[in-house]
Amino acid sequence: MNRREFLQLSAASAAASALGKSAFADVINGKPKRVGLIGPGWYGKADLFRLIQVAPVEVVSLCDVDKKMLNDAADMVAQRQVSKKRPRTYADYRQMLKEKDLDIVLIATPDHWHALSMIEAVEAGADIYVQKPISVDVREGQAMLAAARRTKRVVQVGTQRRSTPHLIEARDRFLKTGALGNIGMVEIYCYYHMRNGSNPPDTAPPENLDYEMWTGPAPMRPYNSIVHPRGWRAFMEYGNGIVGDMCVHMLDMVRWSMELGWPDRVTSTGGILSDKTAKANISDTQGAVFQFGNLPVIWQHRSYGHAADPKYPWGATIYGDKGTLKMSVQGYDFIPMRGDAIHKDVVYEFDKYPEDKTEKDLETHVAPAIRGHMNDLLANIATRGRPVADIEQGYISSTSCILANLSMKLGGRSLKWDSVKQEVANDPEANAQLARPYRAPWKHPYAA
């Protein structure tokens, strides 16, 4: 065993001590948790490598429809995991899951593939880490939640703000103690210039990509170089735009830190108001109000111009009569009405995990949160409990964002959500759009 392997196992042992019963006990008995990953692209590898850092798992299977991405990822996994074994590779997740030999499956596909792969994975007996938003339509999310409960599998959603150390501190220090006083409003926002502004011509897909399988249940569009890799969020056919990508994180963070459940009502307006020449069909400007009783949580994104606060281009601001709390992935600021302000920056962990410094495309400020999220998943796999970002919480936050897009699509109509019936109250037109048509031969997983 070399120094790196020793440190890796020592870290896993420390994590095991914190968990009580853990994956480390399994490796002593010769049974490391067997892991598969569907979608080993940018964030798939980021998630998987953080799991490898905190537990001595054995990554045995990878699946992707891009042959080059798949083979490159398999080589990287062989270098990163303790056993140095190269995982099996699959072009079809159904073949991978048919083996029924995986303890944990990570899902980091484009959003339109989350539902089918997650449901089949829990039915194959695996516990799950699935990226956010959990689905592209509301009914998919309902089917995913039902499948998780039916199979009694543990499902963690990749809303890792719930496991971000400085945000946990901010919640405990200011929100739980009542330091903000009476909270009257919350603003959440994203001002990143993240909407693709290019307009390249459609082309034939690259030979290494099975575009038919990549498209799967989504509507078939002519292939465009924007889409793959990583650019698919420019199109509503595959996701839920900036609201589904960025609002879901901040809304979920606010719900978690303030212990909020379902919004009573969701209203949204916006559209493509600035950049009308781009190929992308997602909104460049959008506002939404998520009404939780008397508390409005107000979203705004704008993919042009300056951020309202340059220090907080993506985050949440919670306003109380005793102070204001700003929270983001980079830190927090508490500004009381009286007294000194308190600031905290994100804490990196380069001393414990020096490989974070050199890993390509890793968001190093997010790495500690992902590790915390993975440790929480492992703890709840051991106890068969519900993790901090349980599938039900992911369903609530994802559905709320999908309803915002639906409200905008319906001309800004306010949608009153019935959390008992799990539908929009007194709105047949809206309810008819809670599930979108699947492209044949794929079948929607929701059964009314």
Read off the pLDDT of residues 178-210 as tens digits, 9 standing for 90 and up.
999 999 999 999 999 999 999 999 999 999 999
CB atoms within 10 A of CB 21: 13
The pTM is what?
A: 0.94
Residue 9 scores a pLDDT above 60: no
**Residue 7 pLDDT level (bands cut at 50, 70, 90):** very low
- Tell me the three state secondary structure of residue 50: helix
Cβ–Cβ < 8 Å for 109, 70: no
- Segment 294-317 mean pLDDT: 98
Residue 427 scores a pLDDT above 90: yes
Lowest mean pLDDT among 26-30, 40-44, 49-53, 322-326: 26-30
More confident residue, 15 or 385: 385
Residue 12 scores a pLDDT above 50: no
Residue 14 scores a pLDDT above 90: no
Of all residues in the chain, the percent with pLDDT exceeding 90 is 93
Cβ–Cβ < 8 Å for 175, 318: yes
Residue from 246, 260, 267, 294 nearest 393 by CA: 260
Residues of 168-194 as b/e, b for ≥16 C-beta within 10 angstroms? Answer: bebbeebbeeeebeebeebbbbbbeeb
Read off the pLDDT of residues 57-72 as tens digits, 9 standing for 90 and up.
999 999 999 999 999 9
Residue 4 scores a pLDDT above 90: no
Mean pLDDT (the chain) is 94
**Residue 18 pLDDT level (bands cut at 50, 70, 90):** very low
Taken in order of first residue, the domains within the chain and their CATH numbers are: 3-162+370-383 (3.40.50.720), 165-347+391-431 (3.30.360.10)
- Chain CA centroid to CA 29, Å: 33
Indicate the length of the chain as a whole number: 448
Read off the pLDDT of residues 271-301 as tens digits, 9 standing for 90 and up.
999 999 999 999 999 999 999 999 999 999 9
pLDDT for the residue 374? 98
Lowest mean pLDDT among 16-30, 111-125, 337-351: 16-30
- Tell me the three state secondary structure of residue 154: coil
Task: Tokens for 174, please give them.
Answer: 């200011």
101: left (phi over 0), alpha (psi -120 to 50) or beta: alpha
